[in-house]
């Protein structure tokens, strides 16, 4: 009966402690800071930009280049930097599990022992020979114990719940960083691929002009042999030919570097470039119209903006954690178990009997009365960090707006220049053809041909570069709009081969496995899902 009453009191105390734990939470609750947004982009009404329409998630498909789409998907699967970002999300989950575990008794231990001791007959505790008492102390003692002990600091002021909020926000920030890595990776792959195609187009133009200039040199040499012109024409033709040939190694070197960069982005050695990049396929042309949404969409689409918000949210909770140290802490410590020995009439076999039951219960409190200055300064430190992160969030939003506006301006300007440069290149081609014909017929000198060929090469090269700038400006625009990360919805942060390798070393349980209902959508998941696996 005594044991039953004792257990009832322990259960009642435990229930009361649970009620007390939900009393309050110190510190401010996080609110998203105001951001300086406007309704429409500065380039409102520009040709080719559709404001108010949702931005395409898989924006690389708008170029209509299957090779580019294949490279982006391969990079998502194999890029090593992206895998590191995914592992940080998994690490954040484990950290959140640690924080959730603080809601439960922080110290829990089961113990047991089988003890043998033998007293010396010459020791002070052994009866003296002159002692008339007939009782003697046993010289050999056997003792069995089995017990469970726990210590629990109650979350009376919300210290541990604020810690959970901070860890949860930090995990969300790591997930946003992963999304930002996806956006950056897609942009890097697309930009490198476009640079490759631009260099290949320039190399093709250089080869075409070399062939044209070789024909001009043959004609100049023939006319010189027949005395129709001077040697100067031959030397001018050679100068032009050698100058154009000198540009070819530079383009070839740039192409190799582009292939090396793509290989690394795809998680491959530099000498293992993917197939399909050798032959020039031309510069991918962007679509006629681009959906750019509205400025307010950046708060949702830009992962770096979300990461800045979550970082501020995590720091906000740390203020409550620091403030809790200003107040007393309440703890419950205790242990229950069984003990038996062979002393007197007792037997070791009675270990689990009611007589062998032992219990200890000790409510405690502690208060750092003489450390208030240090604790208050720590609260101030956490608050200053929080304010700095709020300002950093606002700066991140402004930077995002500027990057979008800059990319739009660059795209619109490059698109307008392409139209004029295309006409200039056609005119230069016609001028070079006429000059070549006139020189063949002896109606003009080679200087006219030389100038026309130089203009043709320049105009063709400028046109290729500007077409490439249109494409790369569009990549910068999509990157600034924050597109591309949505493709990972429902997909694991860690590839299957990496997960298997980690599970061979460590028991990860559910932390490394995906649950779309509880992970993909942070607003609907149950945070206790991250409680420590037992």
- Judged on CB neighbours under 10 Å (0-12, 13-18, 19+), 172 is buried
Query: What sign does the CA torsion over 234, 240, 245, 246 have?
Result: positive
Give pLDDT tens digits for 72-131.
Answer: 999 999 999 999 999 999 999 999 988 988 888 878 888 777 777 776 656 566 566 655
Pick from 109-118, 359-368, 465-474: least confident: 109-118
pLDDT of residue 508: 84
Dist. CA 265–CA 259, nearest whole Å: 10
pLDDT, residue 344, reads 58
Please report, rounded to a whole number, the percentage of residues in the chain having pLDDT higher than 70. Answer: 84
pLDDT at position 272 over 60? yes
CB 17 within 8 Å of CB 154: yes
Single pTM value for the model: 0.83
At 40-53, the pLDDT tens digits run 888 877 887 888 78
Mean pLDDT, range 270-287, rounded to an integer:
81
Return the CATH architecture of domain 107-122+137-154+329-366. Single Sheet (2.20)
Helix/strand/coil for 174: helix
> What number is the average pLDDT over the span 204-233?
87
The mean-pLDDT minimum among 113-122, 142-151, 382-391, 496-505 falls in 113-122
Region 484-507: mean pLDDT is 85
Residue-averaged pLDDT of the chain: 83
Mean per-residue pLDDT for 273-298?
Answer: 83
Domain boundaries of the chain, sorted by first residue? 107-122+137-154+329-366
Higher pLDDT, 31 or 516: 31
Per-residue pLDDT, 342 = 65
Closest alpha carbon to 110 in 55, 163, 149, 68:
149
Q: Which of 50-59, 171-180, 345-354, 459-468 has the lowest mean pLDDT?
A: 345-354
CB 284 within 8 A of CB 473: no
């Amino acid at each position: 009966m005594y044991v039953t009453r004792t257990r009832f009191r322990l259960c009642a105390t435990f229930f009361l402690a649970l009620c007390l734990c939900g009393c309050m939470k110190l510190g401010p609750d996080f609110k998203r800071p105001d951001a300086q947004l406007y309704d429409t982009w500065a380039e409102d009404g520009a040709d080719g930009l559709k404001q108010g329409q949702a931005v395409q998630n898989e924006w690389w498909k708008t170029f209509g280049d299957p090779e580019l789409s294949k490279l982006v998907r391969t990079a998502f699967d194999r890029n090593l930097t992206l895998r590191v970002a995914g592992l940080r999300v998994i690490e954040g989950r484990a950290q959140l599990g640690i924080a959730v575990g603080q809601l439960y008794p922080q110290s829990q231990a089961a113990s047991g022992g089988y003890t043998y001791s033998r007293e010396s007959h010459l020791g002070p505790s052994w009866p003296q020979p002159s002692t008339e008492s007939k009782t003697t102390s046993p010289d050999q003692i056997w003792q069995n114990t089995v017990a469970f002990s726990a210590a629990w600091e109650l979350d009376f002021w919300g210290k541990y719940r604020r810690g959970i909020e901070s860890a949860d926000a930090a995990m969300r920030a790591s997930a946003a960083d992963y999304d930002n890595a996806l956006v950056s990776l897609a942009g890097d792959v697309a930009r490198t691929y476009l640079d490759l195609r631009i260099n290949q187009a320039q190399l093709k133009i250089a080869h075409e002009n070399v062939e044209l200039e070789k024909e001009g040199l043959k004609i100049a040499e023939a006319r010189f042999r027949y005395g129709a012109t001077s040697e100067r024409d031959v030397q001018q033709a050679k100068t032009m030919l050698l100058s154009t040939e000198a540009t070819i190694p530079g383009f070839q070197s740039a192409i190799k570097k582009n292939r090396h960069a793509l290989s690394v982005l795809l998680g491959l050695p530099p000498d293992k470039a993917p197939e399909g990049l050798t032959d020039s396929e031309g510069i991918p042309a962007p679509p006629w119209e681009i959906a750019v949404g509205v400025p307010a969409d950046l708060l949702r689409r830009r992962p770096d903006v979300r990461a800045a918000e979550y970082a501020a949210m995590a720091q906000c909770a740390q203020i409550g954690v620091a403030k809790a140290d200003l107040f007393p802490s309440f703890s419950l410590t205790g242990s229950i178990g069984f003990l038996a020995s062979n002393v007197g009439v007792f037997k070791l076999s009675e270990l689990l009997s009611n007589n062998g039951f032992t219990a200890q219960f000790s409510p405690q409190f502690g208060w750092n009365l003489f450390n208030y200055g240090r604790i208050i300064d720590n609260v101030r430190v956490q608050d200053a960090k929080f304010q700095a992160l709020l300002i950093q969030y606002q700066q991140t939003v402004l930077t995002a707006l500027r990057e979008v506006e800059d990319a739009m301006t660059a795209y619109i300007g490059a698109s307008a220049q392409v139209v004029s440069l295309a006409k200039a290149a056609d005119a230069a081609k016609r001028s070079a053809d006429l000059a070549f014909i006139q020189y063949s017929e002896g109606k003009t000198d080679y200087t006219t041909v030389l100038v026309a060929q130089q203009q043709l090469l320049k105009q063709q090269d400028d046109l290729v570069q500007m077409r490439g700038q249109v494409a790369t400006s569009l990549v910068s625009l999509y990157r600034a709009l924050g597109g591309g990360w949505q493709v990972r919805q429902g997909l694991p942060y860690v590839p299957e081969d990496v997960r298997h390798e980690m599970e061979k070393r460590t028991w990860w349980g559910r932390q490394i496995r995906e649950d779309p209902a509880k992970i993909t959508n942070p607003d609907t998941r149950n945070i206790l899902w991250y409680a420590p696996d037992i």
